Amino acid sequence: MNPVTSLFSFRTIPEGFTTSLPASSASMLPESTVARAVLVCASISVSILLLYGASGSPSFLSSSGYSFNLFPSLLGGGSDSEFSLEKILKEAAMEDKTVIITALNEAWAAPNTVIDLFLESFRTGQGTRRLLNHLVIVALDRKAYRRCMELHTHCFALVTRGLDFHREAYFMTDVYLEMMWRRIDFLRSLLELGYNFVFTDADIMWFRDPFPRFFLDADFQIACDHFSGNSSDAQNRPNGGFNYVKSNNRSIEFYKFWYSSRETYPGYHDQDVLNFIKFDPFIERLGLKMRFLDTAFFGGLCEPSKDLNLVCTMHANCCFGLDNKLHDLRIMLQDWKTFLSLPPPLKRSLSMSWRVPQNCR
Distances from the Cα of 269 to the Cα of 36, 79, 135, 242, angstroms? 55, 36, 25, 15
The reply to whether 242 falls in a domain is yes
Q: How many domains does the chain have?
A: 1
Bin 230: left if φ > 0, else alpha if -120 < ψ < 50, else beta. Answer: beta
266-288 residues labelled b (16+ CB within 10 A) or e (exposed): eebbbbebbbebbeeeebeebeb
Between CA 358 and CA 356 the distance in angstroms is 5
Between CA 333 and CA 338 the distance in angstroms is 9
Task: Report residue 81's pLDDT band, with 50, 70 and 90 as the boundaries.
Answer: very low
The reply to whether 59 falls in a domain is no
Evaluate if residue 39 carries a pLDDT over 60: no
The reply to whether 128 falls in a domain is yes
Give the residue numbers spanning the domain of 218. Answer: 87-298
User: What's the whole-number mean pLDDT along residues 41-45?
Assistant: 43
Evaluate if residue 167 carries a pLDDT over 50: no
Where residue 96 sits, what CATH number does that domain have? 3.90.550
Between CA 356 and CA 239 the distance in angstroms is 19
Evaluate if residue 213 carries a pLDDT over 90: yes
pLDDT in tens, 239-249: 999 999 999 99
The reply to whether 75 falls in a domain is no
The reply to whether 258 falls in a domain is yes
The reply to whether 190 falls in a domain is yes
The reply to whether 349 falls in a domain is no
pTM reported for the whole predicted model: 0.78
**Residue 328 near residue 301 (C-beta atoms within 8 A):** yes
The reply to whether 253 falls in a domain is yes
Q: What is the pLDDT of residue 180?
A: 80
How would DSSP label each residue in 49-70?
HHHHHTTTS-EEE-TTS-EEE-
User: What's the whole-number mean pLDDT along residues 165-170?
Assistant: 43
